[in-house]
Amino acid sequence: MGLPASLARDISPPRPSKRRRTSAADVRSSKSKATVHSDATRTVAKALPALAAVEAGKVKIDDHLTYFRSHLVKSSRNTPLDVSRLSTDDFSALYQSNANPYGHHFVVHQHNHPIAGVHYDLRLQFSETSSMSFALPKGLPGDPNSRSIGRMAIETRVHNYWNHLIESASRKTGSLIIWDTGTYSILPRTKRKNGIPSPQTTDEEETEVDEAANEGSEVAGGECQDSSKLVAAFKTRYIRLRLHGTRLPHNYTVILRLPSNEITKQPTARRTGKRRRAQRSSTPRTPATSDDESSITDPSVHVEASDQDLDTDTEEDDQTRATNAYPGSTNDIGSVHQRRWFLQLDRQNSGFRLDAFGDGKGTWTGGFKPFLVRGRDHERSIITGRLAREVESDEGLEGFVGRDGWAGIEH
């Protein structure tokens, strides 16, 4: 008797399982690949330069905007609606649109420095790569009726344009936040009706435009760019500057002027603290002088009691000291380190008018709502919304103690 058909026919082998069987060798191979990937990730992370190193110029990068933008995005804070803010995208677009020879970008940094203390740095782009810089010990004036309408403005090193992007913190330099940013324009200098340029240019003075003082390089089409006007005004030692920012009010205008006793100042070697104190005690500084070399006293100019140099550049190399410019920037405008300019609110061009009383005095009205600069515990970044201590915390700067003694001008 033969075999049943069911046993006689060919039997197909079972279908292979869809579930892959993992051998011990496969497991070892997988772990090895994961380890390599993890190591590679850590290597890439370590390869990314530290923010403080890039700021100090110890690490060179090709795309500063992309690098600093990534830090600003991840550090952004939520803030109340009444806090002025500029989005990171808008800030990036603003910076990029001025990355050219005729750019006219500005930034005001709040700098919480461990030695010089809190001050504000005004940087004005004048070329594709470079910005002139002024340290303002008390920030920008915001009250037209203040008894301290004038402020000290100390000329510092020429900075790189990419320095406008920085918000950072380190133990040596303290912390920086972007207090305000935008573009600037240069308004014409004025002269008295007798044709003599006015060094003070008081608000009550009847003036007309001094065309010669506002000549600048012309570009295609015959239009004089604001960056060219800035350089020309800087060389005449008188700058009427309008700042188009986000925090600053509409039509905010100031005057920067260099007194004649500062014109011939030349770069000097760094002085020791004892020598500085001795020099200050023996040679008191005059708050301001007019262009006719006669000394005047200007009660509107606020002179700090400490009379500090605000020299925050403690590790610059010989080349930087010789050129008064950081590597990558160019000082072709004749900037001199530590010259003392005076800055005052231009009340007329900021939209204010004087309502005079019978005694000859009066009140400035109209214009913008007055504001105060309140320092590191109150002022937030216009980009990330951070306070100085939050920037320091984000950068791992634990236990940092800034210099005390700073007080805003509230009178």
Q: How far apart are CA 199 and CA 396, in angstroms?
A: 47
Nearest to 124 by CA among 142, 138, 104, 101: 104
Given a contact cutoff of 8 angstroms between Cβ atoms, the answer to whether 169 and 53 are in contact is no
Report residue 310's pLDDT band, with 50, 70 and 90 as the boundaries. low
Nearest to 181 by CA among 123, 125, 107: 107
pLDDT one-digit tens code per residue, 270-283: 444 444 444 444 44
Name the more confident of 40 and 92.
92
Report residue 206's pLDDT band, with 50, 70 and 90 as the boundaries. very low
Q: Cα Rg for the chain, rounded, in angstroms? A: 30
**DSSP 3-state of 163:** helix
Integer CA distances (angstroms), 359 to 37, 151, 172, 363, in order: 80, 27, 52, 12
Name the more confident of 207 and 408.
408
What is the token pair recorded at 33? Answer: 């690949």
Q: How far apart are CA 133 and CA 328, in angstroms?
A: 15
Integer CA distances (angstroms), 204 to 190, 237, 345, 353, in order: 12, 22, 13, 9
Report residue 4's pLDDT band, with 50, 70 and 90 as the boundaries. low
Q: How far apart are CA 226 and CA 379, in angstroms?
A: 29
Beta bridge partners of 155: 134
Asked whether the predicted pLDDT for residue 112 surpasses 50, the reply is yes
Name the more confident of 149 and 303.
149
Q: What's the pLDDT score for residue 297?
A: 37
Q: What's the pLDDT score for residue 284?
A: 39
Q: What's the pLDDT score for residue 359?
A: 64
Report residue 15's pLDDT band, with 50, 70 and 90 as the boundaries. low
Q: What's the pLDDT score for residue 58?
A: 81
**DSSP 3-state of 223:** coil
Task: Classify each residue of 287-323 as buried b or exposed e, where b means 16 or more C-beta atoms within 10 Å of its C-beta.
Answer: bbbebeeeeeebebbbbeeeebbbbbeeebeeebeeb
Asked whether the predicted pLDDT for residue 19 surpasses 90, the reply is no
Q: What's the pLDDT score for residue 50?
A: 83
Query: CA angle, 299 as apex, 231 and 230 as ends, to 5°?
Result: 5
pLDDT one-digit tens code per residue, 350-360: 999 999 876 66
Given a contact cutoff of 8 angstroms between Cβ atoms, the answer to whether 331 and 129 are in contact is no
Name the more confident of 61 and 128.
128
Q: What's the pLDDT score for residue 198?
A: 46
Given a contact cutoff of 8 angstroms between Cβ atoms, the answer to whether 184 and 104 are in contact is yes
Q: What's the pLDDT score for residue 74?
A: 95
Asked whether the predicted pLDDT for residue 200 surpasses 50, the reply is no
**How does the average pLDDT of the chain come out, rounded?**
79
Q: For 336-363, what is the mean pLDDT? A: 90
For the purposes of burial, counting CB atoms within 10 Å of the CB of 3, is it exposed (0-12), middle (13-18) or buried (19 or more)?
exposed
Report residue 398's pLDDT band, with 50, 70 and 90 as the boundaries. confident
Asked whether the predicted pLDDT for residue 118 surpasses 90, the reply is yes
Q: For 39-53, what is the mean pLDDT? A: 57
Q: What's the pLDDT score for residue 357?
A: 75
Q: What's the pLDDT score for residue 399?
A: 84
Asked whether the predicted pLDDT for residue 317 surpasses 80, the reply is yes
Report residue 307's pLDDT band, with 50, 70 and 90 as the boundaries. very low
Name the more confident of 288 and 244.
244
Q: What's the pLDDT score for residue 213?
A: 46
Q: What's the pLDDT score for residue 29?
A: 54
Strands 150-155 and 301-302: parallel
Range from 288-292, 310-314, 331-335, 391-395 carrying the lowest mean pLDDT:
288-292
- Residues near 399 by beta carbon (within 8 Å), at least 6 away in sequence: none
Name the more confident of 333 and 410.
333
